[in-house]
């Protein structure tokens, strides 16, 4: 298979993953939410190491390798600017990132918007961000993690083990996520 053919296949699979997530929709209503305490066979399993992944910051200036964050507690969030609950969640995650930074917690929000400009426009409307924002237009992170809803947050301990998945978002989730992150940060010390 030529490089061009591989690129077409990669693009088609990314479109399929993004389309599937879009079909499942954003989750905000209680009936649509799903928390996972244990792996359910889809994507990364709770209790297992998170797959290796590399993303570029939304400004394209640097790459972030998830493995390089070992030793820190990570909240990996998959979001998109077209998703209403994502747009509500991201500012809350940013406030959380500011509060928990000193505890060794990193919040990495990965946009799966196909157009980088859509993510950048949403981000610019909110000013300065504390959390780290990355862009994954080909949906490779979504392909690896298999988010059941948009947004989905993955809590990863300092050893790189997936400890909790929050599928969808409601305002009450923010406090629950922060408490879990604080507990994971406490395990580090």
DSSP-assigned beta bridge partners for residue 106:
74
Q: How much of the chain, in percent, has pLDDT values that exceed 90?
A: 72
| pLDDT, position 59 | 87
| pLDDT, position 127 | 86
pLDDT band at 42, cuts 50/70/90?
low
Helix axes 171-188, 84-100, angle to 10 degrees: 30
Q: What's the total number of domains in the chain?
A: 1
pLDDT band at 169, cuts 50/70/90?
very high
Domain containing 29 equals: 3-188
Angle, alpha carbons 140-146-151 (nearest 5°): 95
Cβ-contact 90, 158 below 8 angstroms: no
The predicted model scores a pTM of 0.80
DSSP-assigned beta bridge partners for residue 150:
26
Residue pointed to by tokens 């000013």: 127
Higher pLDDT, 172 or 22: 172
| pLDDT, position 26 | 54
Q: Is the peptide bond before 151 cis (omega within 30 degrees of 0)?
A: yes
Cβ-contact 69, 52 below 8 angstroms: no
Per-residue pLDDT of 57-111, as tens digits, reads 998 899 999 999 999 999 999 999 999 999 999 999 999 999 999 999 999 999 9
What single-letter DSSP state applies at residue 159? T
What single-letter DSSP state applies at residue 26? B
Task: With a cut of 50, say whether residue 19 has pLDDT above it.
Answer: no
Residue pointed to by tokens 């820190």: 72
């Amino acid at each position: 298979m030529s490089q061009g053919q591989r690129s077409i296949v990669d693009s088609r699979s990314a479109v399929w993953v993004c389309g599937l997530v879009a079909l499942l929709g954003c989750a905000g209503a209680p009936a649509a939410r799903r928390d996972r305490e244990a792996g359910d066979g889809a994507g990364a399993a709770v209790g297992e190491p998170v797959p290796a992944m590399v993303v570029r910051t939304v400004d394209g200036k640097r790459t972030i390798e998830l493995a390089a964050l070992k030793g820190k507690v990570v909240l990996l969030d998959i979001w998109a600017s077209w998703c209403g609950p994502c747009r509500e969640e991201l500012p809350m995650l940013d406030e959380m990132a500011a509060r928990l930074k000193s505890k060794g917690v990193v919040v990495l929000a990965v946009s799966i918007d196909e157009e980088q400009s859509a993510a950048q426009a949403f981000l610019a409307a909110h000013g300065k961000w504390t959390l780290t924002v990355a862009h994954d237009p080909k949906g490779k992170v979504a392909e690896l993690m298999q988010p059941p809803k948009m947004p989905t947050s993955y809590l990863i301990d300092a050893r790189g083990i997936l400890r909790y998945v929050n599928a969808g978002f409601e305002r009450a989730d923010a406090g629950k996520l922060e408490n879990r992150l604080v507990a994971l940060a406490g395990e580090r010390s």
